[in-house]
Every structure is written in C-alpha cells, then in structure tokens.
A and B are shown apart, each in its own frame.
Chain A
C-alpha cells in the first residue's frame, strides 16, 4: 500500500480549543547587526528581531505560551494527555523540554510528553501529530508548542533574522474548538539546505540553495496539494500564514500561490520579531486568530529545513469571539519592546567566551 492519499484527515474532527503566543521583550535592530558586520547588500531582511532575556529559554517561553493557551481554552491542565514541544533550541540535548513544561502547567503525571525536532517545522509537526492523537480518540486534549531562541553565527546572514518566540495550541474535539481543522498535509524530501550538527553552536546553510529548491518548492507543493484535495482556492481564505525566515520569502510565495498581500499581512510578524524558527508560522497564526471573525478560513503552511512543509486549512467558529481577549494578544507582545544594542545582545545570548 502506498501513501499517496493526499490529505491527512483524522477519524474524528479536531480543532484548536485554545492558543497562546509568547515573544520576549528585547529587540535587536537589523541595522545594529549591519553596523557591526558592515554588510547591507540588497537591504536589510527585517527591521528588528526579538531576543530572549538572560533568564529565558525555550522552557520558560513555552510555559508562558502554554499558560496563555490554557487561559483561552478554559480547561483544567490535568485533562491534557500529551505535551509536545517542537524546537531547535531545546536547552538540553538529552532531557525533555516537554516534561518541564508539563510539570510547570500542572499537566503531569498522567500525560505523554516528548520533544520534536524538524528545524523550523518542529512546531507544526507537533500540531500534525496532535491532530492524530486527538482525532484517533487516544487523547481528549493535546498541547502542541513551537518555540525557539534561534541561533545565528555572529556575522552570518542568519544573525539578522534569528529571533525568539513561538506559540502553543491546544488541540481537542471540533465541537469545543475555536477553529476547526478542515484538513492537513505534509510534504517532505531529503534536501540539505540548513542544518546544525551535534555539538555545534551554530547552524550552517546552503546559501541560495535555501530558497528555490527548499523553501519555495516545499511550501508551494504542500499548499497546492492541500488546496486541491479540499477543492479550495486562495480567494476562499481570509488569511494565510507562511513560514517567515525573512520578509521577502513569505511575500513571494504568497504571490506565487495567488494570495493577495492583505491576506498575509495580519500574520506577517517577521519584520518586527525576526524568524522565530519552530515558532514562526505558529506565532503568525496566533496573530491572525487574535483578529479573525468567526466563520473565516485560514491557510497555514510551515517550512522546516531538511526539508518539509506542513499545511493546514482552518475554519474559525463562533467560539473564537470572546476568547481572544482572555490572554495577551500577539500584537501586545510585539508592542512590548525594549531595544538593545549588539553588546547587550552578545551578553544575553552568551556570545562572549568567558573561559
């Protein structure tokens, strides 16, 4: 039996019961990186990026987003049957982030917990699996988180954009959902466009290879396949969110796929917070949910290097109205801003070698 059935659809309908974002308050302007490294070829890729503070990491940030999610979902954390965290900045190489998060929010011990890894789509991979977990009836609620404090080698092109932030989503039965998952799809291939080997501090990338054969190919294929399976068109969606490694890529892929700039603007956060890697598409989705009316459709397509894309088609429900204000909105976090210079950034991000 081959796996050519295009769309992923669980036995029981699943939706998003709660959502929450977290973005740290510090901002490093791209011009500050350019000031130090003397490189502004072709303009700056974003305005500024969010930087985690000294006492923040993927664990603390995931807990913040999870608490916001629980506030909107209005359920007891003890009802959560799985806590999954997707990231490429897990604080430990061996020891789960997810158990710390589960413990902190009160979801232990009758829960499954695991960390996910797939470059920038680790978070949506966790969402994809959570749909299966809930849709199969194994769990009533599953918490899926995409969160990163992304690494960029000093002076590398990625240092301009490698930001911090992410979002958490509580997946549950469609009947309780703020947003129903109409269908989803995953498209992967062995494409080595970006990687970080074990024990390396910073990732490496294939320069222009990260564009056409990686980002664009996978996002376009995933979006096309899902929309074809659903019989939907770009015009059917009020909003679309694509993975955001810089400002240009999501704008270009949206145009290629036939989306108008207005459809992506609400979820396009990268100019102001940078690329939040495993959190990127997901935190964009939270910004959309904050402003979306009931009954509209949203297309979300992530991209993870290595490489693959997860695509989700969502439809908001009447339940969304009234929940949006139960936790800080994503734009509240974007606006909560303390600018830092490169020296402070170096200290906060542990870039000074002390011994």
Chain B
C-alpha cells in the first residue's frame, strides 16, 4: 500500500485550524485549544477524531494544569476517545504529530486530531523565563542561570567567530520573517522592519539582540489526519499527504554536544525525514523551520542541506529565504513575527505548510508550492521533529 517515494502509508490531512498568536488575556488554555480544534473539525467537514494527541510544554508550570489530553477531549465533547499529552519542550507539537502519524501508520487508528497549545501570558517576567529555561538541563544549565536566549547567544557568538559573519549578518532572518508576517492575519507582529530597526534593537544576550529572538505568546493549532485507505477527505480541496515524520534527539546540555554548531539532532531528523520521503533538499519548496532565535534558523538550514556549513546566514543575507527565493522559510512570519507559542510550534508549522500547499495562504502565498517541510526544536536543538508534506495530486 505504500505509495512510491514514501515509506509511510497514505496519511492525509482532513482539516486544519489555527488561532492568532497573541496575548489572549481573556481566554484560557482550554478555550484557545478548543478554538483551533473546532476550526479543524469544521475544515474537515465535521469529522470526529478517534484520538487526541496534545503537544504542550508549559501548562504544568504556567497554568498549574497537567492532564491536558482528557481536559481538551472532554471540553471538546469527545468523551471516551483516547487522549494524552506529549512534551518535548519547543518540539512538543512536532512530537505529538509524530505520535499521530505512528498511530495511523500502525493501522490502529484512522482519524486522529493533533493540537498544539500554549498559554504563557497568565504569568509574567521571571516565572515565564524560568519555565522556558527548564527545557535545558535543569541541574547543570538552568540552575546556573542559563536561559534559552543565553544558550542561543553562546552559539551565535561561536558561529560568528568560526564563520566570520559580518556585523548584522543575521538580520535577514528577522527582516524576512517580519515582511512575511504582514500577509498573515493571524500573526502577532504584522509590521515590516528595516535594517536600522534590527541594528538598533536592545541586546538580549550579546551578540543576540531583541530582533534575533522570537516573541512568546499564546496560541493553538490543530490538524486532523486520516488514513487515506479508510477515510478520504471529501470536497474539492487539494489533498495533502504526510510523506515523512521523524524525531531525533541529541545531548540535552549544550556543553555535552561535541559539535554544538553541527546541530546534530536536526541533521539526523531532517536526514531521516528526507530518506523516508525519498527526497532531497532540492525537492522541498518551502521550509517552516523553528526560528525561535535567528542563529537556529541558520543552523537548521545547514543541517537540512539547504546550505553548506557556515553558510546558512548567507541565504538570509542574499534574499534566498523570501517567499520567492530559493528556499522560502517562515512564510507566514515564523516564530519571529507570527509569534512563538512554545510547544504548539510544530503544529503551527504543519498547518501553515498545508495552507501553502493548498493555496490558502492568501497574501502570504508561496507560488507553486508542492512539497513543504516543517521542523521544530526542543531546547537548543536537543529534540528535533521534522515532517514533510506534499500535494497528493502531484505525487
């Protein structure tokens, strides 16, 4: 039954749903998750899932809530279905999506909902930073005061040193993300920025400035998947298939990584996904990578094979990552400008790839996109989940 080119059985996208990323002070975690799930069900013509896979990182720390699987299944009116949460820091959404793919591929299920949800704005300041820092090695990194921004700052400093990146060499990532978000009505910051804005931004963790870092905010994204041989989505819409799903891990602590700039887990994850899809980097039309920090965007491009080592920043500097460039990234703003909803990111990326492949991205549409890749990161690239999706009518 395996279609040529992919090692997976035919897994199709039945429907997708997104909430805008923002400071949703008036809404609870369950409300924003329900918004996305309801939208996905509507998008799928009312299809009810057999199981709910939740991707979330911070609910225990910031909402004092565990047990999101049943919370959201119950709130959605799906009592009785199988439901559980998957946590892998910023990669939680991608890992939950991977679990859904496995459940479908195993033949055990044929209709599965994945929702990524994060609620950060019920807490402020240091408590949010501390919760985010818990994604690193708590005993050896977080306790020393190493925050995600500090980790990224260390890697960026090393990268600049090793690869002789000129001043503001990373600016292109931020500028492109902001320019792309203008066309995304669900983005947090729909405002283009200029090089001067980037250059004058306050420093977060030298050399990482405010515009090298993604803003964290609330959001939820949902995707409803089916096995193509048992349930084919109805209607006129372009069918989208998940061709590959891969999760890889590396050392958790930055100091345990033998080659921190090698971004090893991303290399393995992207490599496995491309092998599964029977594709190479040149076959990918757009790449929703996890630009939580601009340095990670450069490293992700390199580890996935879109640039040589040390050259990823040049793609941004030379305009190759724009929607009409060689490898469009952050096409709807990415984490930098669409906003970063922590563990929901992997599902946001998958949904955004679907919107692009189906020609539903509006002003942010990438022309002629047929194959898209999403990749989310947990910590400083310690867990990496990669998915490749394609238009099923063009395979």
Residues of A within 8 A of B (CB): 41, 206-209, 212-213
Q: Is there an interface contact between A213 and B202, defined as CB atoms closer than 8 Å?
A: no
Q: Are B202 and A209 in contact (CB under 8 A)?
A: no
Is B139 located at the chain interface by the 8 A CB criterion? no
Does B121 interact with chain A (Cβ within 8 Å)? yes
Closest 4 CB pairs of A and B: A213-B25, A207-B124, A41-B202, A206-B124
A209–B124 CA distance with the chains assembled, in angstroms = 9
B residues in contact with A207, CB < 8 Å = 124-125
Name the residue in B25, B26, B124 with the highest tally of chain A Cβ atoms < 10 Å from its Cβ. Answer: B25
Number of A-B contacts (CB under 8 A): 13
**B13-43 interface bits toward A, Cβ cutoff 8 Å, 1 = contact, 0 = none:** 0000000000101100000000000000000
A208 engages B125 (CB within 8 Å): no
Query: With A206-B124, A207-B124, A207-B125 given, is the CB distance from A212 to B23 under 8 Å?
Result: yes
Pairwise interchain contact A212-B124, C-beta atoms closer than 8 A: no
Q: CB within 8 Å of A: which of B209-267?
A: none
Q: What A residues does B25 contact at CB under 8 A?
A: 209, 212-213
A206 and B127 CA atoms in complex are apart in Å by: 12
Please state if A208 and B23 are interface contacts (CB–CB under 8 Å).
Answer: yes
Q: What chain B residues lie within 8 Å of A41 (beta carbons)?
A: 202
Could you tell me the distance in whole angstroms from the C-beta of B208 to the nearest C-beta in chain A? 16
Contacts of A206 in B (CB 8 A): 124
Contacts of A209 in B (CB 8 A): 23, 25, 121, 124
State the CA gap A208–B217 with chains docked (Å): 12
Given the complex, which residues of A lie within 8 Å of B23, measured CB to CB? 208-209, 212
13 contacts between A and B (CB under 8 A): A41-B202, A206-B124, A207-B124, A207-B125, A208-B23, A209-B23, A209-B25, A209-B121, A209-B124, A212-B23, A212-B25, A213-B25, A213-B26
Question: Which A residues lie within 8 Å of B202 (CB)?
Answer: 41
Inside 8 A of A212's CB, which chain B residues have their CB? 23, 25
Alpha-carbon separation in the docked complex, A213 to B25 (Å): 7
Q: List A contacts of B121 (CB < 8 A).
A: 209
- What A residues does B125 contact at CB under 8 A? 207
Tell me the complex Cα distance, A152–B25, Å: 25
Name the CB-closest residue of B to A191. B25
7 further A-B pairs in the complex, CB-CB below 8 A; given A209-B23, A212-B23, A213-B26: A41-B202, A207-B124, A208-B23, A209-B25, A209-B121, A209-B124, A212-B25
Interface string of B117-136 (1 = CB under 8 A from A): 00001001100000000000
Q: Closest approach, in angstroms, between the C-beta of A353 and any C-beta of chain B?
A: 23
User: Distance (Å) between the CB of B51 and the closest chain A CB?
Assistant: 36
Residue of A nearest to B26 (CB): A213
Residue in chain B with minimal CB distance to A208: B23
Interface residue ranges of B17-76 to A (CB < 8 Å): 23, 25-26
In whole angstroms, how far apart are the Cα atoms of A213 and B26 in the complex? 8
Give bound CA distance, A209 to B128, whole Å.
14
Residues of A within 8 A of B124 (CB): 206-207, 209
Q: How far is the CA of A209 from the CA of B25 in the complex (A)?
A: 8
Provide the bound-state CA to CA distance between A213 and B23, in Å: 10
Give A212 to B25 CA distance when docked, in angstroms.
9
Closest to B123 in A: A206
B306 CB to closest chain A CB (Å) equals 35
A residues in contact with B26, CB < 8 Å: 213
Give Cα A253–Cα B360 distance, bound, in whole angstroms: 36
Q: How far is the CB of B142 from chain A (nearest CB, A)?
A: 22
The smallest beta-carbon distance between A165 and chain B, in angstroms, is: 29
Query: What B residues does A213 contact at CB under 8 A?
Result: 25-26
In the complex, how many angstroms separate the beta carbon of A54 from the nearest chain B beta carbon? 33
Nearest CB in chain A: distance from B132 CB, A: 16
Nearest-CB residue, chain B, relative to A207: B124
A206 and B25 alpha carbons, distance in the complex (Å): 11
A41, B121: Cα distance in complex, Å = 21
Distance in angstroms between the alpha carbons of A213 and B22 in the assembled complex: 13
> What's the nearest-Cβ distance from chain A to residue B62, in Å?
14
A208 to B26, CA, bound (A): 14
CA distance A212 to B23 in the complex (A): 10
Bound: A138/B226 CA distance, A: 73
- Give the residue name and chain of the B residue nearest to A211 (CB): B23
| Min C-beta distance of B86 to chain A, whole Å | 30
A132 to B202, CA, bound (A): 51
Chain A residue at minimum C-beta to C-beta distance from B121: A209
Distance between A143 CB and nearest chain B CB, rounded to angstroms: 38
Which among A206, A207, A212 has the greatest number of chain B C-beta atoms within 10 A? A206
> For residue A40, which residue of chain B has the nearest CB?
B202
Give CA–CA (A209, B202) in the complex, Å. 21
Q: How far is the CB of B21 from chain A (nearest CB, A)?
A: 15
CA A207 to CA B126, docked complex, whole Å: 11
CA A57 – CA B26 in complex, angstroms? Answer: 38
Question: What is the minimal beta-carbon distance from A132 to any residue of chain B, in angstroms?
Answer: 32
Residues of B within 8 A of A208 (CB): 23
CB distance from B120 to the nearest CB of A (A): 12
